[in-house]
């Protein structure tokens, strides 16, 4: 029995610290992975675990010391430091921490880390949930880490269990303060400390609170919430997506910048992108306003090495040492038939990677410095803030004058690499292009085959980890979105000897074109396509998604969310207003039927105070505490002989308390005022009555 008492809910134990630490670790872990930086995740997790161990050690060592009562002060200092010194703390993390665009994720993570060193009582243990919830909220807005949902559900389970245990300890404190554990003892007996007295929880359950819900009920409730969320979250998400689109939150940087500003700004060797993953639904937040002569692709980044699971840059992209306002033409081959055109961009948010039409020959960036890479992409060494204007000139081969032969000099060998391309994909590329006279015709044949073979579906299933995503999309799943189409185009073109690369950028939606010719480009316009190298034309784009069959509501330009009429925003707003009005009416109607205690003229708090004072006077006279399950009427029976003439006044007050608490006809204002006067007068009169224990000893 002693072992059970040591393990009950009387005191904060190691399980509480495990629950707090696990929940905090899940939050910081998901934040790091949401920006594809596992090093940041592991760094934060290790510090949180270290802080938890320190807090537990302080808790054990100082359990009887008033020092642990200053945990809130230390926690507050940590919160202030995480915000005031956010820049300094950010640089202490791997990879320079979270990007400046999402600085809030950085100081929230440090708030959790520093707070874990000062969680010595229930209040600070539970407060850790606040920055953790905020961090999960940011990760949910970015929607770049699929595992965040599972980690959030695990966090909810930890929080619910921890909250139930803390609530149980708070109930124990209330019970101790009420005199439950000292009933039958003389008034003034010391109240047992919940933190240092084991076994109180078991003792409490032996009384009228034996059916009190414990942490196991909280755990089952949290699991039920998770189950309901899994079933209802898709409906809720579709319901609020129309409103959520107005929320402005800077997304994490998709391509990390060099950590050392002195390094070559274009050196992104080793950067990678995974394909075959579920589509990450993003908010359609405006990014750029583009003034173009017609709809054009805007290139942002390129990749040359296929890994069997995605793409990497196996070679660096050295920057071009030239005046940013007179960018040199950087394409392989000579653009003999290319025609120039002008463009103008205006940033609507801060960005570092500059999406531009191909191929740029002149660029003028307002209040920022642009660095060109040898692959024709641009990076802004100084972030272009909202409202920055970029003007430039590009050249492109007209559609009516297609190139004939591939351009494959030695420097383009990385773009014909077939090391990770399956034999089945190579064989199919050769079969599809068989009999074609020119390389360009072969490329068109491959593009047409991919368009017919794969159905465009933003809701396509994830590629199993053991399978090649290109082969899986072409021959098994036969579904996918732009990353699958572009990857298939690149590897199949390489299979017939044409240099090709994987490109990501933006394809403006013509539905968001204004009458003035401006295109509003949003995050949802992010797209992938292939570029093939041809003699006299440089890099030529090929996009198999254009002619592909699309699943309804999940095609090119869609958000991947279909909403029936009853889930559209106007209907939901009207329904919400109706439910709010109905709830107000029901609450108002119910309040008119509440007992008099809630409608007493003196108010509930005044009535409670009078009852407590009346009870204290009776306990003083009785020389013992009233049992928790004993009514005032039952307690008065034992005092009838000792109260004498005051017994009638006491029973009258007790009956009026009963009416105020339980009668359907509440006390009037005059009755409440009179009851208050009578209680005060009664307490003054009985002050002279000596306690029963003293009278008995006399």
**Domain map (residue ranges) of the chain:** 2-182+198-242, 282-560, 596-697
d(CA 572, CA 565): 10
* Residue 459, burial from CB neighbour count under 10 angstroms (0-12, 13-18, 19+): middle
Q: In what order do the strands lie in the sheet with 518-522?
A: 360-365, 389-396, 339-347, 286-291, 518-522
Mean pLDDT value of segment 214-218: 56
Q: What confidence score (pLDDT) does residue 455 get?
A: 93
d(CA 185, CA 625): 7
283-287, 447-451, 522-526, 614-618: segment of lowest average pLDDT:
283-287
User: Does 307 have pLDDT greater than 50?
Assistant: yes
DSSP label at residue 128: T
Mean pLDDT value of segment 446-452: 95
d(CA 178, CA 612): 11
Q: What confidence score (pLDDT) does residue 246 get?
A: 41
Mean pLDDT value of segment 562-581: 56
Task: Quote the tokens at residue 287.
Answer: 């990014």
Mean pLDDT value of segment 403-413: 86
Residues contacting residue 526 through CB under 8 Å, at least 6 positions apart: 282, 504, 505, 506
pLDDT tens digit string along 227-281? Answer: 555 554 454 444 544 444 444 444 444 433 333 322 233 333 346 788 887 776 5
Residues contacting residue 347 through CB under 8 Å, at least 6 positions apart: 287, 288, 384, 385, 386, 387, 388, 390
CATH of domain 282-560: 3.10.620.30
CA of 282: how far to CAs of 101, 139, 245, 479, 524, in Å?
A: 17, 12, 9, 20, 6
For every residue of 282-306, DSSP letters joined together read: ----EEEEEE-SS---EEEEEE-EE
Q: Residue 24's closest CA among 145, 125, 120, 96?
A: 125
Q: What confidence score (pLDDT) does residue 461 get?
A: 85
User: Does 544 have pLDDT greater than 90?
Assistant: yes
pLDDT tier, 164 (very low <50, low <70, confident <90, very high otherwise): confident
Neighbours of 157 (CB within 10 A): 21
Average pLDDT, the chain: 76
User: Does 495 have pLDDT greater than 90?
Assistant: yes
Q: Are 394 and 427 in contact (CB under 8 A)?
A: no
172-176, 187-191, 369-373: segment of lowest average pLDDT:
187-191
Mean pLDDT value of segment 276-288: 72
CA of 586: how far to CAs of 84, 589, 590, 591, 663, in Å?
A: 47, 5, 6, 9, 22
Q: Are 237 and 561 in contact (CB under 8 A)?
A: yes
47-56, 402-411, 558-567, 594-603: segment of lowest average pLDDT:
594-603
Q: What confidence score (pLDDT) does residue 434 get?
A: 93
Q: Are 318 and 260 in contact (CB under 8 A)?
A: no
Backbone angles phi, psi at 551, to 5 degrees: -75, 135
Q: Are 474 and 452 in contact (CB under 8 A)?
A: no
Q: What confidence score (pLDDT) does residue 475 get?
A: 95
Q: What confidence score (pLDDT) does residue 433 get?
A: 94
Q: What confidence score (pLDDT) does residue 299 get?
A: 93
- 3-state SS, residue 254: coil
- Element housing 463 (H / E): none
d(CA 215, CA 271): 46
pLDDT tier, 176 (very low <50, low <70, confident <90, very high otherwise): confident
Mean pLDDT value of segment 24-51: 88
Task: Quote the tokens at residue 533.
Answer: 């190298």
Q: Are 358 and 377 in contact (CB under 8 A)?
A: no
Mean pLDDT value of segment 326-345: 60
Q: Are 124 and 75 in contact (CB under 8 A)?
A: yes
Q: Are 75 and 127 in contact (CB under 8 A)?
A: yes
562-584 as b/e: b if 16+ CB within 10 A: ebeeebeeeebeeeeeeeeeeee
Residues contacting residue 510 through CB under 8 Å, at least 6 positions apart: 295, 519
pLDDT tens digit string along 661-672? Answer: 777 676 777 888
**Pairing of β 455-456 and β 272-274:** unpaired
- 3-state SS, residue 110: helix
* Residue 104, burial from CB neighbour count under 10 angstroms (0-12, 13-18, 19+): middle
């Amino acid at each position: 029995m002693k072992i059970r008492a040591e393990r009950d809910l009387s005191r904060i134990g190691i399980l509480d610290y495990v629950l707090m630490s696990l929940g905090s670790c899940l939050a910081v872990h998901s934040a790091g992975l949401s920006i594809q930086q596992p090093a940041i995740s592991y760094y934060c997790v290790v510090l949180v675990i270290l802080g938890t161990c320190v807090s537990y050690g302080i808790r054990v060592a100082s359990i009887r010391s008033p020092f642990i009562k200053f945990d809130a002060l230390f926690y507050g200092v940590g919160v202030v430091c995480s915000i005031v010194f956010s820049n300094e703390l950010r640089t202490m993390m791997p990879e320079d921490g979270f990007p400046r665009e999402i600085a809030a994720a950085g100081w929230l993570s440090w708030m959790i880390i520093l707070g874990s060193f000062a969680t010595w009582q229930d209040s600070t243990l539970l407060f850790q949930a606040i920055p953790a919830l905020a961090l999960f909220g940011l990760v949910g807005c970015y929607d770049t880490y699929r595992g965040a949902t599972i980690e959030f559900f695990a966090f909810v389970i930890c929080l619910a269990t921890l909250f139930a245990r803390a609530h149980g300890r708070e109930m124990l404190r209330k019970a101790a303060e009420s005199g439950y554990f000292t009933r039958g003892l003389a008034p003034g007996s010391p109240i047992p400390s919940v933190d240092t007295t084991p076994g109180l929880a078991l003792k409490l359950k032996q009384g009228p609170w034996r059916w009190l819900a414990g942490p196991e009920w909280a755990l089952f409730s949290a699991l039920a919430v998770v189950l309901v969320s899994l079933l209802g979250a898709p409906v809720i998400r579709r319901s609020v997506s129309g409103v959520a689109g107005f929320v402005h939150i800077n997304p994490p940087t998709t391509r990390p910048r060099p950590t050392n500003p002195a390094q070559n700004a274009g050196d992104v060797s080793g950067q990678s992108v995974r394909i075959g993953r579920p589509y990450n639904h993003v908010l359609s937040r405006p990014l750029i306003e583009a003034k173009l002569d017609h709809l054009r692709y805007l290139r942002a980044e390129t990749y040359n090495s296929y890994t069997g699971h995605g793409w990497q840059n196996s070679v660096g992209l050295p920057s071009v040492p030239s005046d940013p306002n007179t960018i040199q033409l950087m394409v392989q081959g000579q653009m003999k038939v290319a025609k120039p055109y002008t463009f103008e961009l205006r940033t609507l948010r801060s960005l570092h990677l500059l999406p531009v039409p191909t191929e740029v020959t002149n660029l003028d960036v307002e209040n920022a410095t642009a660095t060109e890479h040898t692959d024709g992409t641009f990076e802004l060494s100084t972030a272009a803030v909202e409202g920055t204007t970029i003007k430039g000139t590009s050249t492109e081969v007209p559609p009516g004058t297609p190139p004939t032969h591939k351009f494959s000099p030695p420097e383009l060998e990385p773009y014909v690499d077939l090391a990770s391309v399956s034999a089945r994909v190579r064989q199919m590329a050769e079969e599809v292009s068989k009999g074609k006279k020119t390389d360009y015709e072969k490329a068109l044949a491959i593009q047409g085959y991919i368009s017919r073979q794969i159905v465009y579906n933003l809701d396509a299933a994830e590629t199993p980890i053991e399978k090649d995503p290109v082969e899986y999309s072409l021959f098994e799943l036969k579904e996918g979105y732009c990353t699958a189409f572009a990857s298939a185009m690149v590897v199949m073109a390489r299979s017939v000897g044409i240099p090709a690369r994987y490109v990501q950028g933006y394809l403006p939606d013509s539905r968001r074109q204004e009458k003035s010719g401006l295109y509003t480009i949003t995050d949802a316009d992010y797209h992938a396509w292939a570029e093939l190298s041809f003699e006299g034309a440089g890099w030529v784009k090929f996009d198999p998604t254009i002619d592909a069959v699309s699943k309804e509501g999940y095609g090119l330009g869609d958000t991947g969310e279909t909403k029936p009429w009853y889930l559209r925003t106007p209907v939901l707003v009207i329904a919400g207003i109706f439910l709010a009005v109905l709830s107000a009416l029901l609450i108002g109607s119910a309040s008119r039927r509440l007992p008099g205690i809630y409608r007493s003229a003196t108010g509930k708090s005044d009535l409670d105070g009078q009852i407590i004072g009346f009870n204290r006077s009776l306990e003083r006279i009785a020389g013992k505490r009233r049992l928790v399950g004993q009514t005032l009427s039952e307690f008065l029976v034992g005092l009838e002989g000792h109260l004498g003439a005051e017994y009638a006044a006491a029973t009258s007050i007790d009956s009026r308390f009963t009416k105020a608490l339980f009668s359907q006809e509440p006390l009037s204002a005059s009755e409440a005022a009179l009851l208050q006067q009578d209680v005060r007068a009664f307490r003054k009169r009985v002050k002279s009555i000596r306690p029963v224990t003293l009278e008995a000893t006399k």
